[in-house]
Amino acid sequence: MTPPSSETLRGVVASADVVVCCGSGGVGKTTTAAVVGLEAARAGRRVVVVTIDPARRLADALGLDDGLTSEPRRIDLRSDADADADADAQGAAGGRGADRGGELSAMMLDTAATFDGLVTRYAEDPDQVDRILSNPFYRNMASAMSGTQEYMAAETLHALHLDHRFDLVVVDTPPSRNALDFLDAPGVLSRFLDHRVFKLAMLPTRSSLKIFGAAAQPIFRAIGKVVGSDVLADSLAFFQAFAGMETGFRERADDVVALLRADRTKFVIVATPRHDTITEAVWFARQLRDQGVGIDASVVNRVLPDFGRTPDEPGPVDGAGGSELDLLWRNLAELRATRAAEIEALAPLVELTGRAPVAMVPLLSADVHDLGGLDEIALHLFADDGLDGGAGPRPPATTR
């Protein structure tokens, strides 16, 4: 049996420069990222939450009707209840307002704008910037090429980590398998920049023209028939315009890889107590472990609450008959059995993540659409009594 952890989710977040929230779709990953950012800001940190998902989930969770952009947007930390009370009343009532100097911002990824920024950063002069940004092959690659979004997400994370305005970056990743693309992308770029085909294309212009015009000419004629001569010409022009910038891109990619594997980058996996989402979470945790990255905490959303027991509670009520009270007791027994099955379903994840803390959030009556809803989640997610959110004891782990 894995011993319970003395660490808490609050402690994990407090010790982090970066928190990466991972999990399959529909498990509350975006809401978890928003709550983590909000609670860290209320603890006095300067936080930015960035979502890689182009959907509006993060904006909706924060109650932002007009959405988010690629620039960090400052969020008012006061909930509606806080806004209606004065500072003295908040202090007397233990309000959760912004009284510790923290700040919260939120943004969403803009792949094309991020790529343009990198080109501007590493180009030797404005003419090189213009030649690249106006190149049709580049425009298509910056917005649609497979892997570009994932690398630019990692680049955005790195840029925010270095931004003096923030001391904590919380990342809301795509669903699990796409999140691995996000983690792999910087290394893929580094390997591509070192590949001999790329180096061939990046030979000095005069030499490359000789190669393209002689030995490789039949090959490029064949490629041109498939992709079109204009596309081929644009791609070759792009690689030639890119000359001299590959070193900066490679070094940046290596820096991003190092950041993702740094001790102060914490991975939080989010799931619900269903076998399919737990199976996905276990698969993802194993993939991270194979890459030398561990899970620092787990969050399990929508767990049935622990209904407790009373001294005068009757024994098991069998049969379909009985009074309305008997029917209520049977319903309660079924709910307890369902909760027990949910807790048991968590065992593989608990076993795999070892002593990493597990925070359980009970099933709530409504979705989250504002800071007040996030506050309610935070009361469970960051409960001081072991981070089980009042949802019961830490799930059992099977014997190793």
Q: How far apart (Å, rounded) are the C-alpha atoms in residues 4 and 359?
A: 12
pLDDT at 109: 85
pTM for the complete prediction? 0.76
Type of residue numbered 145: M
pLDDT at 65: 85
By the 8 A CB rule, do 314 and 40 touch?
Answer: no
Helix (H, G, I), strand (E, B) or coil at 46: strand
Stretches in the chain below the pLDDT threshold 70:
1-6, 54-55, 79-100, 141-147, 176-247, 249, 311-322, 384-400
Rg (CA), the chain: 26
Q: What is the pLDDT of residues 253-266, one digit of tens each?
A: 788 888 888 999 99
- Could you count the other beta carbons within 10 Å of the beta carbon of residue 305? 16
pLDDT at 390: 38
What Cα–Cα distance (Å) separates residue 97 from each residue in 41, 62, 77, 373?
A: 10, 15, 6, 14
- DSSP label at residue 385: T
Helices (H), the chain: 9-14, 29-42, 57-61, 80-84, 87-93, 111-122, 126-133, 136-144, 148-162, 176-193, 196-201, 205-213, 217-227, 229-241, 246-260, 275-290, 324-345, 347-353, 371-381
Q: What is the pLDDT of residues 100-126, one digit of tens each?
A: 679 999 999 887 888 888 888 878 888
Q: How far apart (Å, rounded) are the C-alpha atoms in residues 135 and 261?
A: 35
pLDDT at 260: 85
Going along the chain from its start, the domains and CATH numbers come out as 9-202+242-305+329-381 (3.40.50.300)
In the sheet that holds 265-271, the strands lie side by side as 73-75, 103-108, 46-51, 168-172, 18-22, 265-271, 297-303, 358-362
- DSSP label at residue 125: S
pLDDT at 305: 85
Q: How far apart (Å, rounded) are the C-alpha atoms in residues 398 and 365?
A: 32
pLDDT at 92: 41
